[in-house]
Amino acid sequence: MEYKNNNTFSFEKVKTLPNGLGRAGIIHTPHGDIKTPAFMCVGTGGKVRYLSMEDLKSINAQAMLSNGYHLRKPSFEIAKAGGLAQWSGWNGPTLTDSGGFQVMSLGSGIGKVVNMDREKEVVNAAKKDRLTVVEEDGVYFTDPFTNEDEKIGPEESMQIQCRIGADIHMAFDELTSLADTYEYNVEALKRTERWAQRSLDEHKKHHMDLGYYQALYGVLQGGRWEDLRRSTAKKLAQMDFDGYGLGGAFLKEDLGEILRWCCEELPDNKPRHLLGLSRPDDIFTGVRMGADTFDCVAPTREARHGRIYHRYGYYSINKQVHLDELLDPECDCPTCRAGWTRGQLRALKKSENNEEKELYFRLASMHNLRFILRLMENIRQAILEDRLDEYQAQFYKDYYGK
Ligand SMILES: [Zn+2]
């Protein structure tokens, strides 16, 4: 059954994997379609760093994810321009995160960290002097740039996101750390569920303000506990959300199980977004367990640091090897098609000249993003042709050597 809301936002399932969870589909939005599984390029402030909108089109990007926290101040200007798609010049499908993750991680250092020891250290050390305080009405924090005290709760987050006007919004949630206790997770999860209802209520008041339907996803938390993950998925499934965000910090070995618990409880006619992951093995796991869209800053951030993605695993451009080869001879990105060699890119990266450095950032970012976008396209095609197992086996053999 196709899920439709207001005839402008809908999710169409095209093919389902034999496990009943993973699928290929199409998300229809007011600014265009997203063929899933899909990767959304992260343009936190409304632009992917160092890339023009033409660059994004040239790598076949389908959607851009921006951040409600970073765009909270220009949000009034964005609304005046007619919304994020127009303001940014992207003119395609967009999604905004609620800003909860950014606000929460300001104070605690919480990330998508999958190292338990480091996580424990950070949480225990930071608790007493966090820059953020979680209360029932929202999160109080100090802006690290202006030193001003601010508060964002479900209502503020929805008002900000509705001014930004992305096609898809995320409900305001509390991200817990892997090091937080079960008891704390229970408390935080109940708060996130109350915030989910308040997000829905506020969103309904503003979601047509820019003249087109803006969809809202509920966000699932619950840490590593099956009872919490399933109960919150059941509860949010009963609410009037257009789709779901699969949230939380994950240990790599838990990812598949946690996603399975969530997606088994969610309605299968609504889309699901897995927040903040882009390692190829995580993407395969996510797709198989029912995630439709993904986003992550890693492909561009790692490109800037010199980590280049390649069919046979990634390598460092900083090393003095294979300098006259292309980044990846089999790659179809604009950088590789134009014939840029590793040696040329390495020289640009090491250059003292800012323009040359920025050219490196742009060329390397396009290559890494295209690698992930192509992976998603290949996964989708493999699902449609009933050969995901074979495709995955070949990819793992090449990329991970196993
Ligand atoms: Zn390339």
Q: What is the pLDDT of residues 368-402, one digit of tens each?
A: 999 999 999 999 999 999 999 999 999 999 999 98
Q: How much distance in Å is there from the Cα of 326 to the middle of ligand 1?
A: 8
Q: How much distance in Å is there from the Cα of 208 to the middle of ligand 1?
A: 40
Tell me the pLDDT band of 111, cut-offs 50, 70 and 90: very low
Tell me, yes or no, if 295 is annotated catalytic.
Answer: yes
Query: What's the confidence (pLDDT) of residue 7?
Result: 63
Query: What's the confidence (pLDDT) of residue 133?
Result: 84
Q: How much distance in Å is there from the Cα of 379 to the middle of ligand 1?
A: 18
| Tokens standing for residue 324 | 């006259």
Query: What's the confidence (pLDDT) of residue 397?
Result: 97
Tell me the pLDDT band of 109, cut-offs 50, 70 and 90: very low
> Residue 170, SS3?
strand
Q: How much distance in Å is there from the Cα of 396 to the middle of ligand 1?
A: 19
Tell me, yes or no, if 97 is annotated catalytic.
Answer: yes
Asked if pLDDT for residue 128 goes beyond 70, the answer is no
Query: What's the confidence (pLDDT) of residue 101?
Result: 77
pLDDT > 70 in the chain, percent: 92
Cα–Cα distance measured from residue 227 to residue 332, given in angstroms and rounded to the nearest whole number: 45
Cα–Cα distance measured from residue 402 to residue 393, given in angstroms and rounded to the nearest whole number: 8
Which of 5-19, 35-49, 371-385 bottoms out in mean pLDDT, i.e. has the lowest? 5-19
Q: How much distance in Å is there from the Cα of 188 to the middle of ligand 1?
A: 43
Asked if pLDDT for residue 117 goes beyond 70, the answer is no
Tell me the pLDDT band of 145, cut-offs 50, 70 and 90: confident
Tell me the pLDDT band of 248, cut-offs 50, 70 and 90: confident
Asked if pLDDT for residue 249 goes beyond 90, the answer is no
> Residue 243, SS3?
strand
Mean of pLDDT values over 34-41:
98
CA nearest neighbour of 120 among 249, 274, 222: 249
Q: 261 to each of 183, 210, 248, 257, 316, how far by Cα in Å?
A: 20, 36, 13, 6, 37
CB 152 within 8 A of CB 172: yes
Cα–Cα distance measured from residue 282 to residue 322, given in angstroms and rounded to the nearest whole number: 29
Tell me the pTM: 0.93
CB 168 within 8 A of CB 243: yes
Q: How much distance in Å is there from the Cα of 344 to the middle of ligand 1?
A: 14
Cα–Cα distance measured from residue 281 to residue 245, given in angstroms and rounded to the nearest whole number: 19
Q: How much distance in Å is there from the Cα of 317 to the middle of ligand 1?
A: 13
| 3-state helix/strand/coil string of 163-192 | HHCCCEEECCCCCCCCCCCHHHHHHHHHHH
Cα–Cα distance measured from residue 315 to residue 87, given in angstroms and rounded to the nearest whole number: 36
Spot the catalytic one: 55, 97, 292, 328.
97
Asked if pLDDT for residue 118 goes beyond 90, the answer is no
Query: For all residues of the chain together, what is the average pLDDT?
Result: 92
Mean of pLDDT values over 51-76:
96
What are the beta bridge partners of residue 88? none
Query: What's the confidence (pLDDT) of residue 124?
Result: 54
pLDDT > 90 in the chain, percent: 82
Asked if pLDDT for residue 2 goes beyond 70, the answer is no
| Tokens standing for residue 369 | 């993003």
Q: How much distance in Å is there from the Cα of 217 to the middle of ligand 1?
A: 33
Spot the catalytic one: 55, 173, 295, 328.
295
Asked if pLDDT for residue 341 goes beyond 60, the answer is yes
Q: Which amino acid is at 63?
A: A
Q: How much distance in Å is there from the Cα of 395 to the middle of ligand 1?
A: 17
Q: How much distance in Å is there from the Cα of 58 to the middle of ligand 1?
A: 12
Tell me the pLDDT band of 112, cut-offs 50, 70 and 90: very low
| Ranges assigned E (strand) in 221-335 | 243-246, 272-274, 293-295, 307-308, 315-316
Question: Residue 35: CB partners within 8 Å, gap ≥ 6?
Answer: 24, 25, 26, 62, 380
What are the beta bridge partners of residue 244? 218, 272
User: Is the bond preceding 37 in cis, omega lying within 30 degrees of 0?
Assistant: yes
**What residues have a C-beta under 5 A from ligand 1, the ion?**
327, 331, 333, 335-336, 367
Q: How much distance in Å is there from the Cα of 282 to the middle of ligand 1?
A: 21
Cα–Cα distance measured from residue 207 to residue 164, given in angstroms and rounded to the nearest whole number: 11
Q: How much distance in Å is there from the Cα of 365 to the middle of ligand 1?
A: 9
Asked if pLDDT for residue 129 goes beyond 60, the answer is no
Query: What's the confidence (pLDDT) of residue 71?
Result: 96
Asked if pLDDT for residue 287 goes beyond 70, the answer is yes
Q: How much distance in Å is there from the Cα of 360 to the middle of ligand 1?
A: 13
Asked if pLDDT for residue 114 goes beyond 50, the answer is no
Mean of pLDDT values over 2-21:
86
Higher-pLDDT residue of 296 and 147 is: 296
Tell me the pLDDT band of 336, cut-offs 50, 70 and 90: very high
Asked if pLDDT for residue 113 goes beyond 50, the answer is no
